[in-house]
Amino acid sequence: MSLELPLLIGPRHTLGAFVLMRGETLLETIEPGMAAVFCLLSGGASISRPRAGATASLHIHAQPGQPVVLSDPGVYCIIAKQHTIGARAVRLKKG
């Protein structure tokens, strides 16, 4: 069971934390005009997104202390390779 904790919610940004046990997944949907930054505090995770109409996909190995920026629209799947704790910041669409 993944755990997401919203810490700060503003009109254009949200800041939160998440906890994933090994093998758990978290889906993040990025719409046009949005961006998300993930920074792992401990553990390890894999972030992937299929590309529409192509066989290749995006696959990122997130490491503790190295931020990952997701800005292309789509649905991203975060899979914990180990027990993982991280922070998440999202810039919402303007409007």
Please list the residues that pair with 50 across neighbouring strands: 57
pTM above 0.85, yes or no: no
**Beta-ladder partners of 58:** 49
Residue-wise pLDDT tens digits, 71-94: 988 889 999 999 999 999 999 877
Nearest to 91 by CA among 19, 18, 27, 9: 9
Tens-digit pLDDT profile for residues 11-51: 889 999 999 999 999 999 999 989 999 999 999 999 998 76
Distance of CA 43 to the CA centre of its chain: 14
Cα–Cα distance measured from residue 94 to residue 34, given in angstroms and rounded to the nearest whole number: 8
